[in-house]
Structure 1
Amino acid sequence: MFGFITRLAVIVSIPVISLTRKANAGVVQTAVSQYPQELIFALCGVMMFAGALASIVTPDPEGVKPTKPMAKLIYSFFGSVSALTYLVFCEKDLSLVHALWVGGVSFVSPVAIPSLKALVFELMPIAMQTLKSFISKWIGQSKGNGNG
């Protein structure tokens, strides 16, 4: 039954979209020409939502601890907001490619953020130990040179 309804919706949607497109052609053209930045900003919001939804539905890769859907949503939101903030304040221009980039960041953030967190917390003790050994070796050599 679901398959039938889906196929029926696809068959009926093509003429409806065509008629709607012809009826609203002037309105859409006017809106695109007068408000291009606002429409791209709205498209960024849609892509944020689509990327977050795709990241929640997509299973976690192997080797990465599974993330809860709510955490994925939060990671997606903050990743895409940071990408949009970067675009607005650093690039100072929006295009259709930027909207796709915001959606991509929203999709990738739930996997990238925990991986970066694990990388930092695994490498931090190693880096601290290396720094301590370097400093102790350096201080030890300077004391040895002063006495001799």
Structure 2
Amino acid sequence: MSGVPSLKPFLLEHFPAFIGVILAGCLGGSAAISLAASTYFSDVPMATNATVSWFVVIAAALFVANSNFLVVRGRAWAVWAMVAFFTVCLLVVLPTLLYRPHWFIYGESLFWPLLGLLLINSKGYRSMVKKLVEVRRLREAAKAGL
């Protein structure tokens, strides 16, 4: 990349995969938390269950937002945080089959993390991360030159 990269072509090419990972993280995390709350913790009083689930959803949303912010800032290692998040979502959801949840809720809870992992593994997302790392290096080089 020589000179200042143009933002519009970059966004047109990479924005769908990037926002798809964020949406899959939000939807997959909330689905996993909801399914876990209604199966593993069904004996807990509803008010306590709802309060704890709300705090866990907020923590998961902050984690997803922070990880994707680090990816935008050119930190390629933050992609592994999202991979770990989707893996944890899958590991939470898979055993709930023993509780016989509704088939649609169970399928949706599996779909979003798998979609997120698929998007992270796509060629477009990988090239986006490479370009963002390159932009970070250019930014650091320009800062060091000043």
Q: Same fold (TM over 0.5)?
A: no
Greater Rg, structure 1 or structure 2? 1
TM-score (norm 2): 0.35
Q: TM-score, normalised by structure 1?
A: 0.35
**Taking CA–CA contacts closer than 8 Å with sequence separation of 6 or more, which of the two structures ends up with the larger relative contact order?**
2
